[in-house]
Amino acid sequence: MAINRKIQTLDEFTIQQMRNFPQATGELSGLLRDMGLAAKRVHVEVNKAGLVDILGDAGTMNVQGEEVKKLDVFANNQFMGVLQHGISCAGIGSEELDDIVVFDDEVSNQSKYVCLFDPLDGSSNIDVNVSIGTIFSVFRRVSELGKPATKADFLQAGNKQVAAGYVIYGSSTMLVYATRRGVNGFTLDQSIGEFTLSHPDIQCPDTGKIYSVNHGNFFQYEEKVKEYINACQRKNKDNGGPYTQRYIGSMVADVHRNLIKGGIFMYPGTTDKPKGKLRLLYECNPFAFIVEKAGGKATNGKQRILDIEPTEIHQRTPMFIGSKLMMEELESFTQQATK
């Protein structure tokens, strides 16, 4: 068997990137490697999810006599733990926690970055063996180095992100991250326990045939959004329609598929929840950064996601994200003057 491809692990890749930038301090590379380490630990637990009857349900004792934590709490503790004990992160914000956590020790106060994450997105899908994920976003601090991080470090517009990524725990486990230099994907090779570069320089196809939206909410969407969804279902020789509807209900899986194959994902506001469901800082900003770096677009229907100035850490926003031409088609509906 001819093997002519050099395997490059996540660690080797981040170190290689650093070598190309001799002025880099290695802090961001270290942070990304920390995220990879936590992701491997979460991968192991996610894969045990179906064994819950054997190993014990959340809140009970497992066979070692340890309390079994809910997976999203476990994931939160893993990501927070690696960052707190690493040397690159001054504090975190998590979808699981009410407020930011500032690490406030000598090393952390010197760290340049803060990280926001959703430790286990789509967690309602765990029980039914559907793909779930982790999403993260990294900002350079705006507060003074040497002092504890402040809320202002976390409340920055998405266009200030220095890196963002996600992990998908699916038929294989993948970590995808973006920096200003592009988007790269790593698949967990379980035989060596390492994320290895499998999807270098990911580019989102300019167009596709998939639209992803919760159709159950259709009658609660704005008229222009409904018109666009109706158009997705019509025959259209210019855009290759009708499109195919695919919606997993796990944003990481839905956006990952559309990033690779081309497509559009939408979580619009509804009459009940005008701001939709998704969180700007933990879900929308990181995906907007990744998809834009891969050549796609992301808006809230009126404004680029990355230009929204956040005012609170758990704020929500409508979200439309995907292939460039499909997003422009959507905008031809949403940006029409109201009749």
Edge-to-edge, what's the strand order for the sheet holding 113-121?
A: 101-102, 89-94, 113-121, 132-140, 161-169, 173-179, 182-189, 194-199
Report the alpha-carbon distance of residue 202 to residue 294 in Å, rounded: 6
Tell me how far, at minimum, the Cβ of 125 lies from ligand AHG, in Å. 6
Select from 69, 70, 277, 314 the one that contacts ligand AHG (CB under 6 A). Answer: 277
Q: Which residue has the tokens 């490059």?
A: 8
Select from 122, 205, 262, 318 the one that contacts ligand AHG (CB under 6 A). Answer: 122
Report the alpha-carbon distance of residue 337 to residue 143 in Å, rounded: 42
Select from 25, 60, 110, 124 the one that contacts ligand AHG (CB under 6 A). Answer: 124
Which of these ranges, 27-35, 173-181, 225-233, 245-253, lies near ligand AHG under the rule CB under 6 A? 245-253
Query: Is the Cβ of residue 139 or residue 166 nearer to ligand AHG in the bound state?
Result: 166
Under 8 Å between Cβ of 317 and 282: no
Write the burial class of residue 102 (CB in 10 Å: 0-12 exposed, 13-18 middle, 19+ buried): buried
Tell me how far, at minimum, the Cβ of 276 lies from ligand AHG, in Å. 9
Lookup: tokens for 84:
């707190």
Bridge partners of residue 113, in order along the sequence: 89, 140
250 binds ligand AHG (CB under 6 A): yes
Query: Is the Cβ of residue 251 or residue 280 nearer to ligand AHG in the bound state?
Result: 251
Which of these ranges, 25-33, 119-127, 176-184, 289-297, lies near ligand AHG under the rule CB under 6 A? 119-127
Tell me how far, at minimum, the Cβ of 118 lies from ligand AHG, in Å. 7
Q: Which residues bind ligand AHG (CB under 6 A)?
A: 121-124, 214, 249-251, 254, 277
